[in-house]
Amino acid sequence: MGTLTVQTLQAPTSGANANKVIIPSGQTLQLTDNLRYEDMPVGSVLQVATTMWNSETQSTSQSFTDVADSSISFTPKLATSKLVISASHQFQIYSTSSYYAGGMTRIVHDGTALDFQSQTYESYAEFYGLSGGTNTHDRLHRIATVSAGSTNARTIKLQLAKYSATTVHVSVNQGAYFHAVLKVEEIKQ
3-state secondary structure string across the chain: CCCCCCCCCCCCCCCCCCCCCCCCCCCCCCCCCCCCHHHCCCCCEEEEEEEEECCCEEECCCCCEECCCCCEEECCCCCCCEEEEEEEEEEEEEECCCCEEEEEEEEEECCEECCCCCCCCCEEEECCCCCCCEEEEEEEEEEEEEECCCCCCEEEEEEEEEECCCCCEEEECHHHCCCEEEEEEEECC
Question: Which residues of the chain, if any, have pLDDT below 70?
Answer: 1, 29-33, 129-131
Determine the Cα–Cα distance for residues 182 and 71; give it in Å rounded to an integer. Answer: 8
pLDDT given at position 30: 67
pLDDT given at position 128: 73
Specify the pTM.
0.79
Output the CA angle 41-45-48, nearest 5 degrees.
160
